[in-house]
Structure 1
Amino acid sequence: MKTIKLLFAMLFAFATFQIANAQSDKTQRTIGVKTQTVKVSGTCDMDKRRIENTALTVEGIKYAVWSLDAQTLTVKYSVFKKEAADIAEKKIAAAGNDTEHYKADDTAYKNLPECCHYQRKQS
């Protein structure tokens, strides 16, 4: 009888710890996190690395992924840092890649490696 009680107690404890562990997974939390997608021009993996790393340097941004095919950057950031996505766009433009709202400086664009030169829109 003691063995059965001990077994049930162990099963109950195991289930409790599993539920608590599942609820503490920080990658699944979306409360207080906003997602935004913006157009960012680029042509290669070097652009991808530059764009994502530049976005991740902005305080409040937790996630940044640039899609070469869609030419879009998806960022997740804290709702307490409302200007984070805009700051990221400005920094990316300063690094040489045009964004949806900001055009890169001609000098910054020319300083990009040759493989990173994309077709720029006339403004």
Structure 2
Amino acid sequence: MKTLKTLFTVAVLVVTVSFANAQSDKTERTIGIKTEKIKVSGTCGMDKRRIETAAYSVDGVKSAVWNEYTQILVLKYSVFKKDAGDKAQRSIASAGNDTEKYKAEDAVYNKLPDCCHYRTMKM
């Protein structure tokens, strides 16, 4: 009888720990997180690093992943920082890459490495 109680106690403990670990997985947490897809111009891996770094510099941004082929930034930020999406776009534009809402200043854009120039030349 004593071994049965011990076995039951261990089983309950294992199940409790498993549920506790599943609840604490922060990578899958979506409550309080807003996801936004933003078109951001760029051409290369250097742009990717610049765009994601600029987005992460904004308070409230939890995740920023830019795809150079689709030119879409998937931005996740706290719902308590309602202006984080707009601030991220401003930060990206100030770093030299155009977004849906903001265009980078020509002086900043021209200082980017040649491989990062995505604007077409007008003739």
After TM superposition, give the deviation of residue 119 of structure 1 in Å: 2.6
The equivalent of 2:117 in structure 1 is 117
Q: Show CA shifts across 1:60-102 (max 9, x none).
A: 0000000111101111001111110111101111111011111
Query: Residue 66 of structure 1: SS of its match in structure 2?
Result: strand
Identity among equivalent positions (%) equals 59
Structure 2 length normalisation: TM-score?
0.94
The equivalent of 1:11 in structure 2 is 11
Query: Residue 75 of structure 2: SS of its match in structure 1?
Result: strand
Structure 1 segments unaligned to the other structure (5+ residues): none
Query: Residue 92 of structure 1: SS of its match in structure 2?
Result: helix
Cα distance in structure 2, aligned partners of 1:69 and 1:60: 26
Query: Residue 22 of structure 2: SS of its match in structure 1?
Result: helix
Runs of 4+ in 1 over 3 A off after TM superposition: none
- Please show how residues 43-54 of structure 1 align to structure 2 within 5 Å: 43-54=43-54
Structure 1 length normalisation: TM-score?
0.94
Cα distance in structure 1, aligned partners of 2:55 and 2:99: 12
The equivalent of 2:71 in structure 1 is 71
The equivalent of 2:40 in structure 1 is 40
Q: Show CA shifts across 1:92-117 (max 9, x none).
A: 11111011111110011011011111
The equivalent of 1:98 in structure 2 is 98
Q: Show CA shifts across 1:15-74 (max 9, x none).
A: 111111101111111111100011000000000000001100000000000011110111
Structure 2 segments unaligned to the other structure (5+ residues): none
Aligned-residue CA RMSD (Å): 1.4
> What letter matches 1:71 in structure 2?
Q
After TM superposition, give the deviation of residue 11 of structure 1 in Å: 1.0
> What letter matches 2:94 in structure 1?
A
Cα distance in structure 2, aligned partners of 1:121 and 1:51: 22
